[in-house]
């Protein structure tokens, strides 16, 4: 939950919490990859462009398994 991140930030004065409002525990995709890349390049959590987080949507729930995972 977001409040766990807020509590953790108390111990990391240079930390930053980026919230993805439409996700739960697992977050991925182009926005997360961009944040990782920015973090590595800047060596800092400050100044990251996290504007994509609020626009990111989780993929639709899968009703069928892709054929490569089908039981045979």
Ranges of each domain in the chain: 2-57
17 near 2, Cβ under 8 Å? yes
How many CB atoms are closer than 10 A to CB 31? 19
The SS3 of residue 37 is helix
CA distance 5 to 38: 20
The DSSP letter of residue 47 is: T
**Tens digits of per-residue pLDDT, 14-66?**
999 998 887 777 777 889 899 999 999 999 999 999 999 888 777 777 777 77
């Amino acid at each position: 939950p977001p409040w766990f991140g807020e509590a953790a930030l108390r111990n990391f004065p240079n930390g930053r919490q980026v919230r993805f409002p439409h996700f739960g525990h697992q977050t991925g995709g182009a926005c997360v990859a961009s944040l990782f890349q920015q973090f590595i390049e800047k060596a800092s959590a400050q100044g990251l462009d996290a504007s994509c987080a609020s626009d990111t949507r989780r993929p639709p729930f899968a009703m069928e398994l892709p054929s490569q995972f089908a039981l045979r």
